[in-house]
Amino acid sequence: MAKMKAVMAAVLVMEKEGVTQAFGVPGAAINPMYAQLRERGTIAHVLARHVEGASHMAEGYTRARAGNIGVCIGTSGPAGTDMITGLYSAQADSIPILCITGQAPRARLHKEDFQAVDIASIAKPVTKWAHTVLEPAQVPRAFQQAFHLMRSGRPGPVLIDLPFDVMMAEIEFDIDTYEPLPVYKPAASRKQIERALEMLNEAEKPLIVAGGGIINADASDLLVQFAEAAGIPVIPTLMGWGAIADNHPLQAGMCGLQTAQRYGNANLLASDFVLGIGNRWANRHTGSPEVYTKGRKFIHVDIEPTQIGRVFAPDYGIVSDAKAALGLFVEVAKEWKAKGKLRDWSAWAAETQGRKCDLQYLRKTDFDNVPMKPQRVYQCMNNAFGEDVCYVSTIGLSQIAGAQFLHVYKPRHWINCGQAGPLGWTVPAALGVRVADPQRKIVALSGDYDFQFMIEELAVGAQFKLPYIHVVVNNSYLGLIRQAQRGFSMDYCVQLGFENINSPSNDVTAQGYGVDHVKVVEGLGCKAIRVHRQEEIAPAFQQAQAWMDEYQVPVVIEVILERVTNIAMGTEIDNINEFEDLATDRADVPTAVALLD
């Protein structure tokens, strides 16, 4: 046993739990934590420019690699409330992050002390556990419980609030004998998996819907093994994108109202049975349950018992971690196949793949317009980047079109805030991904408004040498909201453009596009390029790579788009408004057709 400050015990527990990186902003009430981090020197720290940015960096860090838990640290009061958005984002997508806040001394909590707020109560709805530690001796066990909860069952975030005097008090603690608590994850039984396969065997056109739980469980390899053993096509959700490569012969496209391919929706509508694993039946994927479920049966496998039946009642439910379930699915499917007990779905699989190169299911990308249409930008991105690229994006027409036209080939190579979708998420999340993986080819994607929300975090990338490419598609509009306002016959308070008095008359920012992103980015210590035509994009990517190699800073490529482009979406998966022309020949969609060529 050793005598130490309670906050030192917290740092030692984090070390034992595998934490090597934190993101945050120091402040008076959390300085005791920073003093111990400095003394130990074992947990690296990235200084954010906004505390919300720190929380999104922690998210990106967690999402980038299996086993990571991002840590974000802030002082009392507004630091905690600023991080609520990050906690909500993490909770919505089942992402474990640990948020640590400082707090006023215990004796001042009820006296409206400066920056004293009941952050645990505020954070409770968007965390697995939010707790203000009131006894110094409970500090190490609170952190032990935090890691246990973040990793057990459905993963998610935790907030620990530490009053100043609690951190500074001395306690007895023996870190040498400390052990993390066993992680609880429910596991399917063989009997349940056999029953599921019996039901699948009755189907003529089954699909697997692969959700983000498969990514979280690091079970993508098992998903592919099961799909191949059974010969069943796979529809990934937006959060499960990359669990099976886009060019795999059993990848059947994505389904949904927005982030979907036409062939993905068509394949789902043609199916008669769906096995969902690690997914939530989110409304942007399903549309109305009545349309989505009509004419097909469902099995739902999820780690969280209360998710099963939440949106609609499946025909069969299994509470299980995705990795545990898929391990058994692979085992039983291979056994049954060897014995001739498994149905042959090869004709159905071929039918789903046929739609991927059928022109009636492909959207046109080969536009030559100037200013550019976004579809052509994504075509250029597909042509420029190989299968190792990792995309980071959050919300808006830029993300929706990206999901319709880009291609993802590996798990954790589509880093996306799926449910919460906070503007500004992309820059800090990309920085968190970079910290987690210094070698990954990272390309972030933003519209101009998402980019402006937390643009100051680019200075973090410059200060800490965190290079990545950020593609900003600029139409000087709140594009998604402008498109949604069509239903109200208005275009109101969504225009970002203005005549920038500081720009030369021949510059696009003086011609109604407003903010000069290139100057702002350069002022933050990064590099930027503005492009207007598709033939400028590939050279811009080459220049960006050269600058990253030389300067080790983020490089922004701003692409000037036409002001108004409506991106395909609809009210139901069988009622999508395409707005733009569909493909007319193979030249229109070279990267999509290449998935099968």
Per-residue pLDDT tens over the stretch 359-407: 888 898 888 898 999 999 999 999 999 899 999 998 888 999 999 999 9
Q: Which residues contact 81 (CB under 8 A, 6 or more apart)?
A: 117, 119, 122
Is 308 catalytic? The answer is no
Residue of 51, 277, 455, 560 marked active site = 51
Is 478 catalytic? The answer is yes
Cα–Cα distances in angstroms (integers) from residue 133 to residues 64, 82, 139, 167, 500, in the given order: 30, 20, 6, 9, 51
Asked if 570 and 404 count as a contact pair (C-beta separation under 8 A), the reply is no
Instruction: Please state, rounded to an integer, the average pLDDT across all residues of the chain.
Output: 93
Residue of 175, 481, 520, 593 marked active site = 481
Give the pLDDT of residue 589. 63
Give the pLDDT of residue 480. 78
Is 301 catalytic? The answer is no
Single-letter code of the amino acid located at 573: I
Q: Does residue 488 sit in helix, strand or coil?
A: helix
- The alpha helices in 179-256, defined as continuous H runs, are 190-201, 212-216, 220-230
Q: Which residues contact 303 (CB under 8 A, 6 or more apart)?
A: 153, 154, 185, 186, 213, 217, 278, 319, 320, 321, 322
- Report the alpha-carbon distance of residue 393 to residue 213 in Å, rounded: 19
- pLDDT tens by residue, 432-442: 999 999 999 99
Residue of 46, 257, 423, 443 marked active site = 423
Is 274 catalytic? The answer is no
pTM attached to this predicted model: 0.94
Give the pLDDT of residue 221. 97
Is 122 catalytic? The answer is no
Task: State the DSSP code for 315.
Answer: S
Total Cβ atoms within 10 A of residue 326? 29
- In 3D space, the residue among 438, 466, 450 whose CA is nearest the CA of residue 398 turns out to be 450
Q: Domains (ranges, CATH) in the chain? A: 2-177 (3.40.50.970), 190-359 (3.40.50.1220), 364-567 (3.40.50.970)
Q: In which band, very low, low, confident or very high, does the pLDDT at 591 lie, cut at 50, 70 and 90? A: low
Residue of 12, 13, 25, 223 marked active site = 25
DSSP conformation letters of 93-128: TT--EEEEEEE--GGGTTTT-TT---HHHHHGGGSS
Residue of 166, 478, 556, 559 marked active site = 478
Q: In which band, very low, low, confident or very high, does the pLDDT at 588 lie, cut at 50, 70 and 90? A: low
| In 221-263, beta strands by DSSP E | 234-236
